[in-house]
Structure 1
Amino acid sequence: MEYKAKYITSDIKLSCYEDKFFKSDIMFDHHMLIWFISGETKIVQADATYFFKKGDIFLIPRNQLATIINYPKDGQPHKTVVMHLSTAKLREYYAKLDVTLKASASQKILSYSNHPLLESCLSSLVPYFELSDLPEAIASLKITEAISILRTIDKTVDNVLANFEEPGKIDLASYMLKNFMFNLPLEKFCYLTGRSLTTFKRDFQKAFNMTPQRWLTQKRLELAHYHLVERKAKPTDVCYEVGFENLSHFSFAFKKRYGYAPTELLQRS
């Protein structure tokens, strides 16, 4: 895979993938505002799947788990402008405002596709990526501009951007059953369920009577088997959507568990 990235600051980058596809499982530490220049993206979350393409603009809230698969399209690379809306920047912005938040703020991906104000703001960043040095103040102004536009076109976005709460201790079993397909370090699951590593392992053993890694592999294989049998899905698609790093590891683990390779299920159908 050939990946290129140009940065204005650590919070604003031009991202480009030129290979067949790129897949990653991510927990976003910051809200991410993304504008598509070319290519396609498939984002799989526990309760929804999204597709984005050229011209689309969307906001991914922080602390969300997702599998992201990026594809080139029509001979063009997967290219996006990505802006991180960090907690520090948002605290600074909202410190001057009196905002009342709703208790049940939506944490779903928010789409603002082809909105002229946002597109103008984000597309105006492209020339800056060719500069060797850009004053920090200018980059900060562009982020402030983007936040202000979001608040103008979406009256509910404050419930996302101005919510600075960190994850508290939640029911571990329910959370893991909903999110086991995301291939993240154990420490990330600890953080998102409000636990230390020691407490997480102890509570996990109590809930599932096995180690986290063994349970995760088992659940991912069960989900893969279901997709292959019921959806007639391709092994290459299933592999990445259920949380495996690569196809060879998935095929090995699948055959060890079920006694036959994933491709054999396709041959039987």
Structure 2
Amino acid sequence: MEHISKYLTKDIKLSSYDDKLFKSDLIFDDHMLIWFISGETKIIQADTVFYFKTGDIFLIPRNLLATIINYPKNGMPHKTVVMHLSTERLKKFYEKIEIDKKHTVEQKIYSFNNHPLLESCLASVIPYFDLEGDFPENIASLKITEAISILREIDKNVDNILANFDEPGKVDLISFMERNFMFNMPIEKLGYLTGRSLSTFNRDFKKHFSTTPQKWLTHKRLELAYYQLAEKKKKPIDVYLEVGFEDLSHFSFAFKKQYGVSPTQLL
């Protein structure tokens, strides 16, 4: 697989995947504003699936768990312009702005498909990727400030996302894990998202589930896979990535160990 990333700065990049697909389980430290030039992306959350294609623009909030599968499409690579809206940059943007936080906005992906203002802003950075030498930080900052200003213009509630600098608070561990077990995250990240240190997370997990996180996660992912194969009649190649496995052969081995049959025997 050939993956090419060109960076104007650490916060603006042009990303291209030329092979069959690229999958990752992600939790971003920054808000991510993404514009599709070509290709297709499937984004899986705990209870929602999104499909994005050429021309689509969307915002992924920070600390949002998602499985992202990128595909080339119609002979074209999976190609996007990505802007990182970092907490540091957003704090500077909002320090002189009075905002009225009306309510807590749901942690979800926000779609701004084919919006001319946003599309024009993101398309305007593409010629700069061919420049030799370093891209001026002051111009990059202007471009990101422009994008933030446009987001605020077209969605009056976006301040509740962009100007929220709180860290995750302590949440109910059982409900969080039951909802998010299919995301292949490091245990440290899962602890962070539940408002716990790694040691506290492991201790609380053992208390509630009477086993280790790794064993419980594998069992739950295979349970979901069994349901997808036996009831939904999906193929193993379409299931293993979505339930949190990285490799088809490892998935098949673990599945047979738990159920005594291979995934293909359920078809």
TM class by shorter-chain length? over 0.9
SS for the counterpart of 1:240 is coil
1:97-116 CA distance string (max 9 Å, x none): 01121332121100001000
Give the equivalent residue in structure 1 for 2:48.
48
1:150 aligns with 2:151: yes
Give the equivalent residue in structure 1 for 2:236.
235
The amino acid of 1:222's aligned partner reads E
1:224-256 CA distance string (max 9 Å, x none): 001111111111111000000110110000011
- Tell me the CA shift for residue 31 of structure 1: 0.5
Give the equivalent residue in structure 1 for 2:164.
163
- Tell me the CA shift for residue 137 of structure 1: 0.4
Matches within 5 A, 1:178-217: 178-217=179-218
Q: Give, in whole Å, the separation in 2 of the partners of 1:171 and 1:103.
A: 21
Asked if the contact 1:239/1:246 (under 8 Å) is kept, the reply is yes
1:128 aligns with 2:131: no
1:67-100 CA distance string (max 9 Å, x none): 0000000000000000000000110001010112
Give the equivalent residue in structure 2 for 1:61.
61
Q: Give, in whole Å, the separation in 1 of the partners of 2:238 and 2:86.
A: 32
Give the equivalent residue in structure 1 for 2:94.
94
Gaps of 5+ in 1: none
1:33 aligns with 2:33: yes
The amino acid of 2:63's aligned partner reads N
The amino acid of 1:112's aligned partner reads F
When the two chains are superposed, the root-mean-square deviation of aligned CA atoms in Å is: 0.7
Asked if the contact 1:18/1:77 (under 8 Å) is kept, the reply is yes
Q: Give, in whole Å, the separation in 2 of the partners of 1:233 and 1:103.
A: 40
Give the equivalent residue in structure 2 for 1:15.
15
Asked if the contact 1:106/1:159 (under 8 Å) is kept, the reply is no
Please list every run of at least 4 consecutive aligned residues from structure 1 whose deviation after the TM superposition is greater than 4 angstroms. Answer: none
- Tell me the CA shift for residue 134 of structure 1: 1.0
- Tell me the CA shift for residue 25 of structure 1: 0.3
SS for the counterpart of 1:134 is coil
